[in-house]
């Protein structure tokens, strides 16, 4: 999944000739704390709500103020995880996207990232979820896939997170079926530690909500 596939179709930018008050209005409507300043196709940087609140005359053009703007961006072919890393490290509510001629192409918001994250882990498809806890050295994707597929199931999504004990990891697996009892028994035979499992729709919805909240916390929301 590349940056060009994540760009919001409706998210606006603002020009230096427009007012800071207008920028604040856009931020309120789109629920962000940053806005790209773009003149023609040139990205000048991001203005934050803090920058605007520091202005005494918000109705004046942005260009009339002396601003020290940050200028983070990604190129069109940046991968989802690269986009995520930059947004997280700089605590941004969006990231501008440029082509290789440095023309501004649009922006990716946290909402865009959250929605695509949900797609990556297969939350839009019905099916059970299994959480395994293990040491990193014991992690084998091929063996996990073999166990799942030997029970006539498929992995729709899988991701790895650090456990409370930092020497261990949590492997979360989204499956294409809700009857996961046989799969759980097989993991037990292979001496895997099953940290949790979720099979009915309500459990899965709660699981997805918890993971979405963790994801947003990861992004410092």
Provide the residue ranges of all domains of the chain, joining segments of one domain with +. Answer: 3-118, 121-218
- The owner of tokens 């046989």 is 182
- The pair of three-digit structure tokens given for residue 45, joined into one six-digit string: 């940087």
**What is the rounded average pLDDT for all residues in the chain?**
85
| Rounded-to-10 torsion of CA 99, 100, 102, 104 | 0
What gap in Å lies between CA 21 and CA 64, rounded to an integer?
13
Query: pTM score, two decimals?
Result: 0.66
Cα 85 to the chain's mean position, in Å? 9
Average pLDDT of the segment spanning 96-111: 94
pLDDT at 218: 52
A 10 A CB-CB count for 145 gives 14
- pLDDT at position 213 over 60: no
CATH class of 3-118: alpha beta
More confidently predicted of 189 and 52: 189
Q: 209: pLDDT confidence band, cut at 50, 70 and 90?
A: low
CATH of segment(s) 121-218: 3.30.70.260
Least confident of 24-33, 50-59, 141-150: 50-59
């Amino acid at each position: 999944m590349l940056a060009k596939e994540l760009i919001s179709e409706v998210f606006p930018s603002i020009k230096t000739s427009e007012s800071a008050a207008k920028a604040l209005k856009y931020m309120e409507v789109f629920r962000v704390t940053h806005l790209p300043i773009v003149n023609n196709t040139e990205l000048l940087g991001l203005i934050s709500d803090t920058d605007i609140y520091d202005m005494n005359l918000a109705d004046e053009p942005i260009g009339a103020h002396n601003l020290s703007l940050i200028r983070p961006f990604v190129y069109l072919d940046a991968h989802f995880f690269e986009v995520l890393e930059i947004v997280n490290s700089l605590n941004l509510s969006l990231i501008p996207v440029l082509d290789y001629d440095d023309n501004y192409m649009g922006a990716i918001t946290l909402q865009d990232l959250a929605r695509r994250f949900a797609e990556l882990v297969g939350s839009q498809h019905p099916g059970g979820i299994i959480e395994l806890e293990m040491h990193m050295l014991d992690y084998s994707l091929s063996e996990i896939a073999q166990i799942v597929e030997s029970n006539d199931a498929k992995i729709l999504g899988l991701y790895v997170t650090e456990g409370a004990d930092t020497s261990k990891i949590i492997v979360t697996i989204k499956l294409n079926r809700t009857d996961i009892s046989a799969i759980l028994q097989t993991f037990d035979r292979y001496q895997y530690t099953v940290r949790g499992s979720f099979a009915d729709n309500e459990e899965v919805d709660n699981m997805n909500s918890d993971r979405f909240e963790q994801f947003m916390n990861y992004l410092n929301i």
